[in-house]
């Protein structure tokens, strides 16, 4: 009965992954087969300045984005839970940034960050603040791409955390109130511990999606200015497809794979351990 599912996994997951690993260990270019060179591409990458900057960019992008999405998503989930009326309507509105196609939303943000027609700079100018080069300097370019990622990711975190909050028995809060516990104590002793399984799953999913992000950076900055916003996905595309060095592109895209495997192992282990308690 599971044979069809196994075949699908082999054809759509295992084979492409194995093919990518093999390609990363060759000197293949687009249109040429190439020869097996082992870990030569990986060794070459760790000595390239642009790749090291991309790793630093990816670490900064992922860490700040996950932190902001977690904090703001949890705050939004707690706020929606406290609303007496209109909760479902607001949840539907909150989901809009997440369900809108990425390319469409990024194009809108690109117009908002435009150096000549930026609505944000128009507002700043009318309140007496100097214009900001949103996409013209490394700091503000990083700020812009992180802002869009957080804006798109908060709804997913909020809805996931909201589902976790709904599953917490209200009897625990009533008992804590009888014992004189305040809101902060309830959060630290009841809400947060019982949300840990949801935290682990949501963070793992968002970690994978954020570190593999491509659309936001490619449409908004193309990795610039001065390669300050390049992520692994955009660099792999630039070198592997636009630069025809498909083997190096595969090596770049697989470089972070061991980190994701370790993160997945500990996150799933924490979830299983929480369920057994």
Q: Please determine, for residue 271, whether its predicted confidence score (pLDDT) is greater than 70.
A: no
Average pLDDT value for residue range 187-206: 87
Average pLDDT value for residue range 190-206: 87
Looking at domain 58-227+266-276, its CATH architecture is Orthogonal Bundle (1.10)
Three-class secondary structure of residue 29 per DSSP: strand
For 218-229, give the secondary structure using H, E and C: HHHCCCCCCCCC
Q: Helices marked H in 10-137 — which ranges? A: 15-24, 40-45, 49-82, 87-94, 96-99, 102-112, 119-126
pLDDT-derived band at 204 (thresholds 50, 70, 90) equals: confident
pLDDT of residue 216: 92
Q: Please determine, for residue 165, whether its predicted confidence score (pLDDT) is greater than 70.
A: yes
Average pLDDT value for residue range 152-156: 92
pLDDT-derived band at 192 (thresholds 50, 70, 90) equals: confident
Average pLDDT value for residue range 196-217: 87
Q: Please determine, for residue 188, whether its predicted confidence score (pLDDT) is greater than 90.
A: no
Note the pTM of the prediction, 2 decimals: 0.88
What does the chain come to in residues?
A: 277
Percent of the chain past pLDDT 90, that is, above it, reads 29
What is d(CA 33, CA 31) in angstroms, rounded to the nearest whole number?
7
Those residues with Cβ within 8 angstroms of residue 269's Cβ, 6 or more apart along the chain or in another chain = none
| pLDDT tens digits along 69-111 | 999 999 999 888 887 777 778 888 888 888 888 889 999 999 9
pLDDT-derived band at 229 (thresholds 50, 70, 90) equals: very high
What is d(CA 243, CA 30) in angstroms, rounded to the nearest whole number?
9
């Amino acid at each position: 009965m599971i044979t069809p599912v196994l075949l699908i996994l082999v054809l759509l997951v295992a084979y492409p992954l194995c093919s990518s690993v093999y390609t990363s260990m060759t000197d293949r270019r687009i249109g040429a087969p190439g020869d097996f060179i082992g870990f030569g591409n990986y060794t070459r990458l760790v000595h390239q300045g642009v790749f090291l900057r991309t790793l630093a960019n990816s670490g900064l992008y992922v860490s700040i984005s996950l932190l902001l999405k977690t904090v703001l998503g949890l705050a939004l989930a707690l706020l929606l839970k406290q609303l007496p009326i209109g909760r479902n309507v607001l949840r539907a509105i909150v989901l809009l940034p997440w369900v809108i196609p990425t390319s469409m939303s990024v194009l809108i943000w690109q117009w908002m960050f435009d150096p000549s027609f930026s609505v944000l700079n128009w507002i700043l100018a009318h309140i007496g603040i100097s214009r900001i080069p949103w996409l013209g300097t490394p700091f503000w370019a990083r700020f812009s791409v992180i802002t869009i990622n957080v804006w798109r990711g908060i709804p997913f975190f909020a809805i996931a955390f909201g589902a976790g909050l709904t599953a917490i028995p209200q009897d625990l809060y009533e008992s804590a109130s009888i014992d004189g516990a305040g809101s902060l104590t309830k959060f630290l002793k009841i809400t947060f511990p019982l949300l840990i399984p949801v935290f682990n799953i949501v963070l793992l999913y968002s970690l994978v999606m954020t570190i593999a992000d491509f659309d936001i950076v490619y449409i908004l900055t193309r990795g610039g200015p001065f390669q300050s916003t390049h992520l692994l996905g955009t660099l792999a595309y630039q070198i592997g497809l636009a630069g025809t060095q498909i083997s190096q592109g595969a090596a770049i895209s697989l470089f972070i794979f061991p980190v994701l495997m370790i993160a997945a192992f500990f996150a799933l282990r924490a979830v299983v351990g929480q369920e057994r308690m």
